Amino acid sequence: MILIHMHKIRFVLSFLFWLNFFGNVSFAQTQNPSKKEIRKATKRAVQYLNSEKFEKSLETARWSLHYATVINDDYLIATSYNLIAANFEQLSEVDKAISLYEKGLTFANNSENDTIKNFINNNLGNVYCFEKKQYEKGIEFYKKSLEYSQKAADTSQIVFTKLNIAWAYFDIDQYENGLPYLEYINKYQAKFSDKSLIIILNMLNGMYSGHKGDFAKGENYFLTAINLGNKLGNKGDLSFSHQEYSKFLFKKGEYKKAYENLVIYNKISDEIYNDDLLKKANVAGINLELDEYKREIDKVETEIELQSQSLHKSRVIVILFIIVFLVLLLLLVSLYKNFNFKKKINYDLTLANEQLIIAKDKAIEASQAKTQFLSTISHELRTPLYGVIGITNLLLDEHKELAKSPHLGSLKFSARYLLSLVNDILQINKIEENKIILESLAFNVSDEIHLVKNALSFIAQSHKNIISVKIDPAIPEYLIGDKLRLAQILMNLVSNALKFTNNGEVILSANLVKVEDNLHHIEFQVSDNGVGIDAADQDRIFEKFVQVGRNDNDYQGTGLGLAIVKRLLGLFNSQITLESQVGIGTTFIFTIAFEHDSNKTNEIINNIKVDLSSGQLFKVLVVEDNKINQTITKKIIEKNNCSCFIVDDGLQALDVLEKDVFDIILMDINMPLISGFETTRKIRSKGIHTPIIALTAFAKDEITEEAIEAGMNDILIKPFESLKLFQVMNEQIKKTKTAVY
């Protein structure tokens, strides 16, 4: 008689008892059952299996498999196959059981439920170990099952799986390999196991005690297992306990008792597997096999239908291919006819490309020449402007009585404006590429407007015009923004209005039109009663180098003013509009949102101050070849109580540094004999760490990389504010004193 290990089935399927679904489900369905109903059915199938009612268990599992397949639920399909396979295993249909377990494992692996993967791997371990006697393969399945239970951190499942592993090792007399698993179960069984497991656990302890020769302890374990089996009515575990106890007694030499226990084992097995029960279960098994065949037939029919559809599509594709082939043939003929023509065209294009390459090279050369020209013009204009602004500042400092002079103020402002205008004209391409960033400075709108008015008073007088200013009193005293760009916009618009107006009036007004949080939207208007602009020309006046409605002898200008205005307003996210009639006049209107924040304004104003709190006197070496620049720079330095020593070129600077020590060096770049860069390299090569600040009229972005490479610490572009110079000087001297070389 072929017998199997009943315990392992109970272990694997017991998980379904914690599915909290209760009640009966009718199998007569007018519509597909829910997942809940299918789970209830699997629960009943487990109950039937544990009661050795294989026929009912198989019929119920068959029902659940059918509807789990209908609703395409991988977890429920895997659970159903697991149940059916467990029944066949109990009925000693081992190969069928393995096939069904493997099917179930395929669906389980497609699901996200690790528990069903754990159970099916465990069951395959049971079959291969205790039925096929392929223990190595079976133990691999057990260990895979153990991985899933450990992943889920389910100690009860870990205990059950380790019990099966210990039993497998004991069956092949590898007691020492199985001992760690048995010790683990002994440690945790009281907390994480049921009474059924205690039967087999006592049996395994008895087997190990017998192996070690401790027959008294082994006898006690086996009797405990048999008593529990009788008490609980668990025939499967009871039969195994009698079988192993019989082996134990035989080893002990008690042959009569060994025979008696073997008889009990066979009797219990006969009760479990009576012929009538097996026949009924076999009928249920055949029905299940028929279901499997039907599913395979349906699958084949579906594949045949798909192949038929694919064949139909293939025929259509062949027809389309023939049509496409014919079309391609016609195209090939057409291409062949056009080949000679295209060959000639390609030859012409090759010649044209060569000419384009030549033109491109010339354009690059022209662009480089333009860049060099702009750089030279920038340097040559900034140098005299440094003198104008510097001398103006010196006059204001040395002659306090001129501080309120509108003429000197206008001169200073005009020089600053001219510097800004020169920079913007030379960098108009950068404006268009959004490479200019607006500054955030605290300023008074009224002061800036009156500076514009005073600066343009000469132009107004020459055209016998008056400039009227109207400022909304609601505008805060201080706003935050780029006042120099605003002044440049207003200067361009007002000067443009004055040039095109004679014996008239130009009105410059500013009105607060909207307040959003801390943003104050100021609307500026520049109105005149001059010649006006024709409607046809109003869209063109903001283009570069465009001058309309005038004779060249009457007015002067580059035609860049309004173009610059439009691009600068773009930086403010603003647009300009105009209203004009020929012979009546023109009004330009734009709105800019400026920030108003008292705390931030105070912070900006405070940051402008130069930190000379230390009262320390610095020795400054100025390397500059321009005599005017020498005078201005020296006055600025000495005015702030610092000593200044001037040399005309880099070679003199090197000689002086051999004999004396300075706190800081102000270095011009473009000098005779050797440049400021080369002079700096030679200074650094001598191990002199004195901070060097480049004072240059070149654009900063043109020289920054070379200045850093040469060893310069910072760059100031001429002309510059004296406050800014001393801020940079203090900062660099402080850094040098704290640096470690």
Q: Minimum mean pLDDT among 265-269, 425-429, 473-477: which range?
A: 425-429
Q: Residue 704, Cβ neighbours under 10 Å: how many?
A: 14
Residues 420-425, mean pLDDT to the nearest whole number: 62
Would you place residue 515 in the very low, low, confident or very high pLDDT band (cuts 50, 70, 90)? Answer: very high
DSSP H or E run through 687: none
* Residue recorded with tokens 């100025």: 622
* Cα end-to-end distance, the chain, whole Å: 95
pLDDT digits over 5-15, tens only?
Answer: 344 433 444 33
* Higher local confidence (pLDDT), 326 or 420: 326
Would you state the pLDDT for residue 526? 96
Would you place residue 623 in the very low, low, confident or very high pLDDT band (cuts 50, 70, 90)? Answer: very high
What letter represents residue 603's amino acid? E
Residues 583-593, mean pLDDT to the nearest whole number: 94
Would you state the pLDDT for residue 6? 40
Would you state the pLDDT for residue 549? 56
Q: Highest-confidence range of 47-56, 523-532, 560-569, by mean pLDDT?
A: 523-532
Is the per-residue pLDDT at 17 higher than 50?
A: no
Would you place residue 709 in the very low, low, confident or very high pLDDT band (cuts 50, 70, 90)? Answer: very high
What are the distances in angstroms from CA 132 to CA 81, 136, 138, 240? 20, 11, 9, 18
Q: Residue 126, Cβ neighbours under 10 Å: how many?
A: 27
* Higher local confidence (pLDDT), 266 or 546: 266
Q: What CA–CA distance (Å, rounded) separates 477 from 596?
A: 9
Would you state the pLDDT for residue 508? 95
Would you state the pLDDT for residue 644? 93
Q: What CA–CA distance (Å, rounded) separates 102 from 106?
A: 6
For residue 728, give every residue at least 6 positions away whose Cβ sits within 8 Å of its Cβ, in sequence order, or none.
693, 714, 716
What 228-234 contacts at long range (C-beta under 8 Å, 24+ apart), as own/partner pairs, is: 228/195, 228/198, 228/199, 228/202, 229/199, 232/195, 232/196, 232/199, 234/6, 234/196, 234/199
Would you state the pLDDT for residue 717? 83
Is the per-residue pLDDT at 374 higher than 70?
A: no
* Higher local confidence (pLDDT), 34 or 301: 34
Would you state the pLDDT for residue 358? 83
Q: What CA–CA distance (Å, rounded) separates 356 from 278?
A: 95
CA dihedral 412, 418, 419, 423 (to 10 degrees): 160
- Report the predicted TM-score, pTM, of the whole model to 2 decimal places: 0.40
Q: What CA–CA distance (Å, rounded) separates 237 from 626?
A: 111
Q: Cα 725 to chain center, whole Å?
A: 42
Would you state the pLDDT for residue 649? 92
Would you state the pLDDT for residue 121? 92
Listed residue (234, 229, 225) closest to 205, CA to CA: 225
Would you state the pLDDT for residue 544? 66
Q: Cα 582 to chain center, whole Å?
A: 58
Q: Highest-confidence range of 353-367, 544-558, 652-666, by mean pLDDT?
A: 652-666
Q: Give, in degrees to the nearest 5, the angle at Cα 627 between 622 and 631.
A: 65
pLDDT digits over 625-658, tens only?
Answer: 888 888 888 888 888 888 999 999 999 999 999 9
- Between strands 479-481 and 441-443, the pairing is antiparallel
* Higher local confidence (pLDDT), 722 or 452: 452
Alpha helix stretches (DSSP H) within 609-675: 627-639, 650-659
Q: Highest-confidence range of 75-79, 229-233, 562-566, 614-618, by mean pLDDT?
A: 75-79
Would you place residue 57 in the very low, low, confident or very high pLDDT band (cuts 50, 70, 90)? Answer: confident
- Sign of the CA dihedral with 552 first, then 554, 557, and 561 last: negative
Is the per-residue pLDDT at 612 higher than 80?
A: no
Please confirm whether the linkage preceding 719 is cis (ω < 30° from 0): yes
Would you state the pLDDT for residue 677? 93
For residue 300, what are the β-bridge partners?
A: none
* Residue recorded with tokens 């006055």: 635
Listed residue (543, 555, 415) closest to 497, CA to CA: 555
Is the per-residue pLDDT at 473 higher than 80?
A: yes
Q: What CA–CA distance (Å, rounded) separates 501 from 498?
A: 5
* Residue recorded with tokens 């010790």: 183
Would you place residue 559 in the very low, low, confident or very high pLDDT band (cuts 50, 70, 90)? Answer: low
Would you state the pLDDT for residue 191? 72
Is the per-residue pLDDT at 741 higher than 70?
A: no
Q: What is the CA radius of gyration of the chain?
A: 50
Is the per-residue pLDDT at 701 higher than 80?
A: no
DSSP H or E run through 467: strand 466-471
Q: Minimum mean pLDDT among 334-343, 508-517, 555-564, 568-577: which range?
A: 555-564
Would you place residue 205 in the very low, low, confident or very high pLDDT band (cuts 50, 70, 90)? Answer: very high
Instruction: Share the mean pLDDT of the chain.
Output: 80
pLDDT digits over 62-87, tens only?
Answer: 898 899 888 889 999 999 899 998 88
Is the per-residue pLDDT at 467 higher than 80?
A: yes
* Higher local confidence (pLDDT), 666 or 305: 666
For residue 481, give every residue at least 6 positions away whose Cβ sits within 8 Å of its Cβ, in sequence order, or none.
438, 439, 440, 441, 443, 592, 594, 595
pLDDT digits over 393-415, tens only?
Answer: 666 666 666 666 666 666 766 76
* Residue recorded with tokens 């039993």: 167
Q: What CA–CA distance (Å, rounded) separates 588 from 494?
A: 10
Residues 124/143, Cβ–Cβ less than 8 Å? no
What letter represents residue 674's amino acid? I
Would you state the pLDDT for residue 379? 53
Would you state the pLDDT for residue 465? 93
Residues 610-620, mean pLDDT to the nearest whole number: 62
Residues 643/619, Cβ–Cβ less than 8 Å? yes
Would you state the pLDDT for residue 371? 53
Q: What CA–CA distance (Å, rounded) separates 44 from 57?
A: 7
pLDDT digits over 132-191, tens only?
Answer: 889 999 999 999 988 888 887 878 888 888 899 999 999 889 999 999 999 998 888 777
Please confirm whether the linkage preceding 33 is cis (ω < 30° from 0): no
Would you state the pLDDT for residue 301? 56
HSE-CB at 412 with a 13 A cutoff on CA atoms is 18
* Residue recorded with tokens 């004055």: 498
Residues 463/499, Cβ–Cβ less than 8 Å? yes
Would you state the pLDDT for residue 154? 79
Residues 590/575, Cβ–Cβ less than 8 Å? yes
